[in-house]
Structure 1
């Protein structure tokens, strides 16, 4: 599909948006809109077999995520989003790299509620910030297993007030291995199956 290839080519080498110039961003937004226009899944929320699973962020305009790269002595690593449709859970995980032995992780656990064929309301419930070594982090999968069993971690691990920490996300494109979403703060997210 030409539109999908054009988008992937436009975001290649942009380090999830960190290296995108204003001209790059405009071109990427056009490529995103062109792909959204031909979304093969008109009601993405109902296509749970596509939505469910492990995703890796390949491009975003989210300042909150991209600003993680501005921490002193640290650089933003991979960003993952794991969606568990069976219990309406979503886990966002950002790996942070820098000085040896003090690699970090920033994570948020949330619940989502479908409100239309393409929109979900999201209520953030738990935030975890830690050094990877302190929590024995070796993969997003094992980390999420720790969260799902309610394990208290050696971390800054605190509940979030879901009445105050909430938003929504429109899934504007999804196929077997690519998903595009637009959030309530105007951010765009492009993810690929991990």
Structure 2
């Protein structure tokens, strides 16, 4: 189903679109590290969010209960759909900042974008499907 959506994406250059700005909720992923399948179920994050600011090229990933972990990142456009992601600060429990190692990086391609839905693919082959929850949210600087 994701592939069918990607073919008809109404936003041809998502990195130039204000539709990308805001806080998105992850509703589906194939990423085992995000699904946390190695953890007991009661220790897995209940909800995950990602915020993006196109104008500042910043991103933030956030986990909900039980740990409220966060990570912020700088984005470098590789083309009009794809960014290099360099994570910079992890926050344990949303409070304790830890500088991210230089190897904490990846790439993300936005393959579908409209006002309510975003489909992205990571450089490790993972699929991410997100829905918009707050278009006014800004990544803290």
Q: TM-score, normalised by structure 2?
A: 0.87
Aligned to 1:27: none
- Structure 2 spans left out of the alignment, 5+ residues: 134-141
Count of aligned pairs between the two proteins: 133
SS in 2 for 1:39: coil
Q: Which residue of structure 2 lines up, in the alignment, with residue 116 of structure 1? A: 79
CA distance, structure 2, for counterparts of residue 44 and residue 85 of structure 1: 9
Answer 1 or 2: which has greater strand percent.
2
Is the Cα–Cα contact under 8 Å of residues 16 and 54 in structure 2 kept in the other structure? no
* Structure 2 counterpart of 1:23: none
Higher helix content, 1 or 2 = 1
CA deviations 1:68-90 (Å, max 9, x no partner) are 67247423211011112221110
Cα RMSD between the aligned structures? 1.7
Contact 1:68 1:76 in 2 (8 A): no
Could you tell me which residue of structure 1 aligns to residue 137 of structure 2? none
SS at match of 2:69: strand
Relative contact order, CA 8 A, sep 6+: which one is greater? Answer: 2
* Equivalent residue number for residue 160 of structure 1: 100
Indicate if the aligned counterparts of 1:180 and 1:189 stay in contact, CA closer than 8 A: yes
- Residues 112 and 123, structure 1, Cα contact 8 Å, conserved in 2: yes
- List structure 1 segments (4+ residues) > 3 angstroms apart after TM superposition: none
2:106 is equivalent to residue 188 of structure 1: no
Query: Does residue 106 of structure 1 match 2:69?
Result: yes
Q: What's the CA shift string for 1:70-118, capped at 9, x where partnerless?
A: 247423211011112221110000113xxxxxx3212111010111011
Larger Rg, first or second structure (1 or 2): 1
